[in-house]
Structure 1
Amino acid sequence: MSSNPSPLNSSRFEGCTLTGALSVLTEVRDAVCIVHGPAGCTHHNFSLLHATLLSNDRLEAPRLLSTRLTENDIIFGGEDALEKTIARALSVSPAPTSVFVLSTCIVETIGDDTAAVCAKPRGVPVVAVPTAGFLGGVFETGVRNALSSVATLASPAAEVTLTANLVGEKNLEYGVDENAAEIARLLARLGIGINLRFVRRIGTGDVERLGAAAVNILREPALRPVGEDLKRRFKTPCIESFPTGLAGTCRFLEEAGRICGVDASAAVEEERAYQAEMLSRFADIAGSRVCFRPPHPALNPDPVAEAVCAECIEALDLTIAPPDGVVIPLPYPAPVGTAGLRRMLHRWRVLIRGKGRG
């Protein structure tokens, strides 16, 4: 459980393509990541990732190296600097089982052939990951490119098991492990286990299991290109999003059951009863007057979050009454599953009780 009490910190997954890729690749625990570019790119991302790990009670540091390109490297090319840094990465202790090389905007501008340098045989895989964002890439681009690059380390499985992969969890998101636990709880109703969290706290060797799952569950629809890539590689169908909302969570069970050939009817009825019991715990706020606002002025309201809130308002007989209703921030991103709704409603209760009913 994270010690970070603020759901607003869940929005720490916007920004640079490089940052998006590193949020994935640094979760391969026995790998070393090389940022091919100026030292500042590495320093900025190391600081962000280290602070995020600490805020989630993980006393560890991301294994990052930089090629530390100088003005001469930028003028004459940085491939020699990359060769030397790969050699340095392979000599660190404990020795890495894989190395990921991430490009930066300046490297793409000067035209270094990063892929060719990485392709040389070295005894462990050295994987080039395109992460320069100056041509229009954003954080999500980095996440997608990183996931597809890690997938190249896996081969088709000899046997498919009744399990699921969680693909593209937001590793900078508050509550990431709680969300994974909720997916595991839901799938357990269907007798489906978790094969691999791709990519979250795994080793290079674990990636080999990627093709053994019966279904890939994407964190969000923006990862659809990754799901399509994995389907081409391993013939694994996917569910395009973690479940949100009361009805959406039940639909998730139905879809997972359909894909995996499991009758989901009993699981859905059990989950509906579980949801009704959960909602009954918040009967004390029924009839309250509320109004909603985005969690931050720079963020547009998330239509999925708005739909989830509308569903809960109806279920709890709340009234939307701006401007005098109790102000409640819209969740960002939308809460996952029934457990996510319970945490959200607990925050609503705290706010409503703190200011009184309308």
Structure 2
Amino acid sequence: MTKEIRPADVFAAARRIGPYVRRTPLERCWALEEECGRPEVYLKLENQQRTRSFKLRGALNRVLALSPAERRRGIVAASSGNHGQGVALAAALTGVKATVVVPEVTPRVKVRAAERWGAEVICRGSNFDLAEEAAWELRGERDATFVHPCTDPEVMAGQGTVGLEIMEELPEAGTVVVPVGGGGLIGGIGVLLKAVRPAAKLVGVQAAASPAVYEAFKAGRVVPSPVGETLAEGLAGNAYEETFPLLQRLVDELVLVSEAEIARAMAWLVLKAGQVVEGSGAVGVAALLAGKLSLGAGPAVFVLSGGNVDAATLQRIVAREGRADAAG
């Protein structure tokens, strides 16, 4: 980041993107309270945002801040899927040409969605880090603006509006649980949350198959970390030197969840809460169902960050988990 964002940046982002984004529901989940024996559990339903992901918030805030000259040259982004959709819609809303580079393993539902909004989508590499390298090369060739999903201050401020909405509706929240990939979402939420409610606990959850930020917290610095195949492909990738100090200051706890735990949470959310949530968005609920969280006093909010999952994948998971429940 060229600068560290402040709460004022999040408030400014809310005003800028307000006419375009949905204020997503914050709903109490009685079924989850019964399942876990925990009172006052709320779900922040970013899976119901336009493009079915929070990513539109940050992408739109960045694109709306472009100069006229930058708009003419266009934008380039790297994405595991959801950021690409957010960039594509933000570009469509503002008349900017967008190119999105995604890993070859990106679910087709995410690729098709970005293409429907008019973006050029290029598949490169077997994981996000390789796709990001290709996107930076393309950015140089085209003299375009790179819209980074995590380290761009305007993007992070836009993601922070999720936290602003939570605080406006539930100012007594004691814990906010957030999926963690590169840290843009939890960083943006944390800047706002810790400013208006310092006592609130901020908890991040990562997939154990790609634990880059978790490993960085253990080491006290960004270190090499495996990037494995995971149902939470939107969280897979490396930690960033630019954002890690901010996360160190804001995040109270980081938890890892297994692939089995993510699958269970995805199925549970469909069958018990009526919510279609991708693996990346389900990791917080996965940690709660697995008994891995130590929540603070007061209401707990779980950010369901996205709902873009291939129907066939979700059907397999729900059928498998249903059989396991019946057998158990």
Superposition TM-score, scaled by structure 2 size: 0.30
Tell me: higher relative CO, structure 1 or 2? Use CA pairs within 8 A at least 6 residues apart: 2
User: Which has the greater radius of gyration?
Assistant: 1
Superposition TM-score, scaled by structure 1 size: 0.28
